[in-house]
Amino acid sequence: MLSDNVKTGDEHAPHRSLFNALGFTGDEMRKPMIGIVSSYNEIVPGHMNIDKIVEAVKLGVAEAGGMPVVFPAIAVCDGIAMGHIGMKYSLVTRDLIADSTECMVRAHQFDALVMVPNCDKNVPGLLMAAARVNIPTVFVSGGPMLAGHVHGKKTSLSSMFEAVGAKKAGTIDEEELRYYDEHTCPTCGSCSGMYTANSMNCLTEAIGMGLRGNGTIPAVYSARLRLAKMAGYAVMDMLKKNIRPRDIMTKEAFMNALTVDMALGCSTNTMLHLPAIAHEAGIDLNMEIANEVSDRTPNLCHLAPAGHTYMEDLNEAGGVYAVMNELSKKGLLDLDCMTVTGHTVGENIAQVKNINTEVIRPIDDPFMAEGGIAVLKGNIAPDTGVVKRSAVVSEMMVHEGPARVFDCEEDAIKAIYGGEIHEGDVVVIRYEGPKGGPGMREMLNPTSAIAGMGLGSSVALITDGRFSGASRGASIGHVSPEAAVGGPIALIEEGDIIKIDIPNNALNVKVSDEVLEERRKNWKPREPKVKDGYLARYEKMVTSGNRGAILELK
């Protein structure tokens, strides 16, 4: 056992004395030491229940013969961080989480781990750490929030942001806005639509690192506590069988995850996180392959914000395994991949039924013939741009209009709420990428403002930043190269005509190469927006969005 390095032999008597100080008994020190990474805190609604999950995991580990030891991981609530400087600190925490977890695991020589994450960057950060330290690891999340209820209809956080736009447009009053904010988020848990947190928790199942229900069992259900105990049992079984993350997170497993991503209609942020996790596992996952996967993968789910079903509905319909079972009927998954259950994907999903074909469409009757995400290219995005195709209305799948150019999110918001954006416009928000932000802020406020102002079916938004999974509409993010490094998005001028052609994966500005080259001669790099602290270090090390915004030493 790895923990023998700090527990066994005369030379480790000083270490044992410190374990004695922790209250460990001799019997406990002879057991495998299982680290439980707790993301509990009192500021993130998706994490306020994690203390209960952790206690259940501890029971499971102890019952299965291990010694559970808890240590923390940080997490940011993207909803609370949205629309101000706090959003610069969201994506960057992914790497902090991975790094700090690596430090704790290797410094203390844990034998195995149970990761208990929930929200947006917390899940991929811990998956990155799991791939990096490569000791037996199981994931069990805090679970999704139940949907809210507004005037008898289910709702979620995206509706709340759009209600602000409706108030600005004068279509609802102060009393109605207050009603929304008191009824939209009714419980603990990750926000109830197919946003980034729930996308990543579902893909944790698909990739094989979480037990069935990890992505969908609501946070407040007691089934979540039972799942946590089972995670404790499972990690001890993995330790016995020496099943490690890199045995599970193979190239084939990532392809399974990408396929399930397309079927579920996940957040575009998965296009950042999957390559970053794969990188830690020693796998090059180029997101240009996304269109190839999308072309052969039907979109089977339209969860909020793309439709009117929620995570609780997906759970009742059979969850991620039911979606995977549908995909397997067309041979779209590698069924031989190993999982944390000790069984293969094929064995796990064999008997799972699709209970509600309105929530999970049958493979022969999908919502769309193609997957939920598309990667666009063109003279604005020579590397990539990403759009959640399943959340775009049909009339905006092909769109042409004048560019309305803004060099930060705040200026765009001011123009939208000031009535300066009109039907047909293409809002361009740049210098918000990984380097330019720094931190690649989510643009939920602008997309929600556009929808709330009644322009969601006629105005597009393009950015080198990114979008919340709660964004809907013709919202194209991750434009690479970003403006801060001289990408073509920096060369767009007010009034240029932009053509978006999602069916043909194209994104172009109707300006000649010669004119763009002339503009480039006059472009100059900008001074970094942040010059001290962690963001300044991040800006120097971060790569582009199309590479997953991973960090590299220059």
The token pair at 404 is 């309305």
Catalytic annotation, pick one of 267, 468, 475, 480:
468
Q: Tell me the average pLDDT across 23-31.
A: 95
Residue 121 pLDDT greater than 70, yes or no: yes
- The residues near 53 (Cβ < 8 Å, ≥ 6 apart) are 116, 140, 142, 143, 224, 225, 228
Q: What is the pLDDT of residue 288?
A: 83
φ/ψ (deg, to 5) at 31: -90, 160
Residue 305 pLDDT greater than 80, yes or no: yes
Q: What is the pLDDT of residue 468?
A: 87
Residue 353 pLDDT greater than 90, yes or no: yes
163 three-state secondary structure:
helix
Residue 168 pLDDT greater than 90, yes or no: no
Q: How far apart are CA 277 and CA 279, in angstroms?
A: 5
Let me know if 199 is a catalytic residue. no
Q: What is the pLDDT of residue 259?
A: 98
Q: What is the pLDDT of residue 499?
A: 98
CB atoms under 10 Å from CB of 375, counted, come to: 24
Q: How far apart are CA 142 and CA 182, in angstroms?
A: 22
Residue 286 pLDDT greater than 90, yes or no: no
Q: How far apart are CA 277 and CA 153, in angstroms?
A: 37
Burial of 132 (0-12, 13-18, 19+ CB in 10 A): buried
Tens digit of pLDDT for each residue in 231-259?
999 999 999 999 999 999 999 999 999 99
Tens digit of pLDDT for each residue in 496-506?
999 999 999 99
Q: Tell me the average pLDDT across 320-347.
A: 98
Question: Quick one: which of 495, 186, 156 has its CA closest to 304?
Answer: 156
Confidence of residue 309 (pLDDT cuts 50, 70, 90): very high
Query: Whole-model pTM?
Result: 0.96
Confidence of residue 169 (pLDDT cuts 50, 70, 90): confident
Q: Tell me the average pLDDT across 331-341.
A: 98
Residue 140 half-sphere exposure, CB side, CA atoms within 13 Å?
33
Residue 94 half-sphere exposure, CB side, CA atoms within 13 Å?
34
The token pair at 537 is 């270090």
Q: What is the pLDDT of residue 554?
A: 62
Confidence of residue 14 (pLDDT cuts 50, 70, 90): very high
Tens digit of pLDDT for each residue in 387-415?
999 999 999 999 999 999 999 999 999 99
Residue 553 pLDDT greater than 90, yes or no: no
Amino acid at 61: V
Q: How far apart are CA 130 and CA 244, in angstroms?
A: 9
Confidence of residue 325 (pLDDT cuts 50, 70, 90): very high
Tens digit of pLDDT for each residue in 452-491?
899 999 999 999 999 988 888 899 999 999 999 999 999 9
Confidence of residue 364 (pLDDT cuts 50, 70, 90): very high
Average confidence score pLDDT of the chain: 96
Tens digit of pLDDT for each residue in 130-155?
999 999 999 999 999 999 999 999 99
